[in-house]
Chains A and B, each alone.
Chain A
Amino acid sequence: MSELDDLYQEVILDHNKSPRNFRAMENANRKAEGYNPLCGDHVTVYLKLKDGVIQDISFEGSGCAISKASASLMTAELKGKTEAQAKELFDNVHKMLTGESNGQDSGKGVGKLKILSGVCKFPARVKCASLAWHTVSSALKGTEGVATTE
């Protein structure tokens, strides 16, 4: 498979076309905005957090296929997870995207998000894939303001 096919796999194209949990959430108790100044990708993540568990999560925004698919996959993966589990997942995903974990380790502990491992071959696109993650982590921290990938 070429690097390009690796990047734009069927699953990613599908999540781009029909993103999961793509909606505003009225009764969210956490919310954060993320912005990638490089390309104008913009995402808002909504959370319903109870007793340290992510009971519901959704997102809205506009962006490229990679950022949208990554956000969609993320929401599917994070539902029902604890804050600590979410943080661990973020760390593992980040390592995979930046190519920090390689060989057999790559994509370890990231579940279905392994589909995004092709991104590490495209350094210019790492920020697209990590935008939603930066945003959810600022929502979890409850920090005000806009998260950026910078």
Chain B
Amino acid sequence: MKAAQEISQPASLRSGLDVEAIRKDFPILARTVHGQPLVYLDNGATSQKPQAVIDALSHYYAEENSNIHRGVHYLSERATTVYEGAREKIKRFINAPKSQEIIFVRGTTEAINLVAQSYGRAFLKAGDEIIVSAMEHHSNIVPWQMLCEQVGARLRVIPINHDGELVMDEYRRLLTEKTKFVSVTHVSNALGTIVPVKEVVALARERGVPVMLDGAQAAPHLKLDVQEIGCDFYAFSGHKLFGPTGVGVLFGRSELLERMPPYQGGGDMISLVTFEKTHYNVLPYKFEAGTPHIAGGIGLGAAIDYLGTLNWKQVVAHEQDLLAYATDSLSSIPGLKIIGTAKEKAGVVSFVFDHVHAHDVGTILDQEGIAVRAGHHCAMPVMQRFGVPATTRASFAFYNTRDEVDALRRAIHRVLKVFG
């Protein structure tokens, strides 16, 4: 009886987070899919948007649309103020020392490419080594492979153990005088593992090696403090953080950004152009060529404002409750194996069956209104490490509930009924 009582207890009593009220802030959560209430468990791919973000985008286009940093007219000044205000909000959100260290990019992928091409091409040479981990998303592998081809550097990979955790002893062994850059994920998108980034950074910085962190999956789940972590670069995407697609953030320590050449050339990134010589603009504009995604930046600012209205401790407690509940609930399904069992995990449950492919699972869940990701999660080396072609991944946000986990479990039973 105790278990039943616990299950019927509203989510707000467990974590203190008023999930029912929060759900009303996200209009899409009220819709149905294939005649069933939407159960959105694909937050690792992209998160849903609160009304406040949708309103900010429409308000900007309806009332303030103008180009920034250019016009002397009212609208341009207004758009510039709101856009630059978003930069300030992001600075506070990750506790960056200066707002000039916040560079708007398209997303995490572009941020990593920017650092690889700008820092990497300027400061790495043949024989140097770059360290990544075995649980990286393709976006934190391929840009470094491209750099390796360009400058003759070599990519080294920190292995992971069977739970999906970094093997720190191997990392220590890989760190040598040849190591010139380290880039690892903060939270694994395919496994949910939370990487001990403070330790990863400290070990590299002891040797004077700069570290970049891919925070795409961490930003929506963890309280971020780039000064406490001590990293040189940190990247995340707006759309996974309840903001718009097409906008993201690169944080970089100004000492490094100052020394780096521009990534792209164009308007806004210059202070003076003549055919003889061009002078580059100051930070952060040196790295922001062309008209940016102004509405996106403003929308991301609105998302951060929205997150500011939530109690982060309660958010973390609620997500950890969902993770524990889902892990427990799904583990009891015959034949289901969870991939990624690290001690420290964010709200991701990736699983496989011996006899049912993830794609078939995904299709049947979809018919029940449940959105999950089925595939290799842009992390093919992770799939190879665990010897599976693909997994089904349920990834949670703070607006998910235990009832939705129950719906997932029931739908998985339907999958097993189809496949016998």
Task: Indicate if A111 sits at the interface (CB-CB under 8 A).
Answer: no
Q: Would you call B358 an interface residue if the criterion is a C-beta within 8 Å of the partner chain's C-beta atoms?
A: yes
Interface bits B207-246 vs A (CB < 8 Å: 1, else 0):
0000000000000000000000000000000000000000
Indicate whether B62 reaches chain A with its CB closer than 8 angstroms: no
In the complex the two chains form, is A39's CB within 8 Å of B364's CB? no
If A3-B367, A8-B418, A38-B375 touch, whether A65 touches B390 (CB-CB below 8 Å) is no
Contact pick for B360, options A2, A3, A42, A66, CB 8 Å: A66
Say yes or no for B376: interface residue by CB 8 A criterion: yes
Within the complex, the shortest CB–CB distance from A30 to chain B, in Å, comes to 25
Complex partner residue of B363 from A2, A7, A63, CB under 8 angstroms = A7
Contact B418 A13 (CB under 8 A): yes
Query: Which residues, 1 to 56 on A, are CB-close (under 8 Å) to B?
Result: 2-4, 7-8, 13, 38-42
- Whether B363 contacts A41 by the Cβ 8 Å rule is no
Given contacts A3-B367, A65-B357, contact A41 B389 (CB under 8 A): yes
Whether a CB of chain A sits under 8 angstroms from the CB of B420 is yes
B407 CB-CB contact with A under 8 Å: no
Closest to A61 in B: B389
Give chain B nearest CB distance to A148 CB in angstroms: 14
Q: A40-B375, A40-B380 are in contact. Are A66 and B359 (CB under 8 A)?
A: yes
Q: Which chain A residues border B275 with CB–CB below 8 Å? A: none
For A62, give its contact among B376, B389, B419, B420 (CB under 8 Å): B389
Within B18-59, which residues are at the interface with A (CB < 8 Å)? none
Bound together, the chains give a CA A64 to CA B376 distance in angstroms of: 13
Main secondary structure of the interface of B (DSSP, over half): helix
- Does B151 have its Cβ within 8 Å of any Cβ on chain A? no
Chain B residues 406-420 with CB under 8 Å of chain A are 418-420
CA distance A125 to B358 in the complex (A): 12
A87 to B: closest C-beta gap in Å: 27
B203 at the interface (CB under 8 A from A): no
> Residues on A close to B: CB < 8 A?
2-4, 7-8, 13, 38-42, 62-66, 122, 124-125, 128
* 9 additional contacts (CB under 8 A) given A39-B358, A64-B360, A66-B360: A3-B367, A4-B363, A39-B376, A40-B376, A62-B389, A64-B357, A65-B356, A66-B359, A128-B359
Counting from the closest, the 6 A-B pairs by CB-CB distance are A64-B357, A64-B359, A40-B389, A40-B376, A39-B375, A40-B390
Residue pairs across A and B with Cβ atoms less than 8 A apart, 13 shown, are: A4-B364, A7-B363, A13-B418, A39-B375, A40-B380, A40-B389, A40-B390, A42-B389, A62-B389, A63-B359, A65-B356, A65-B357, A124-B363
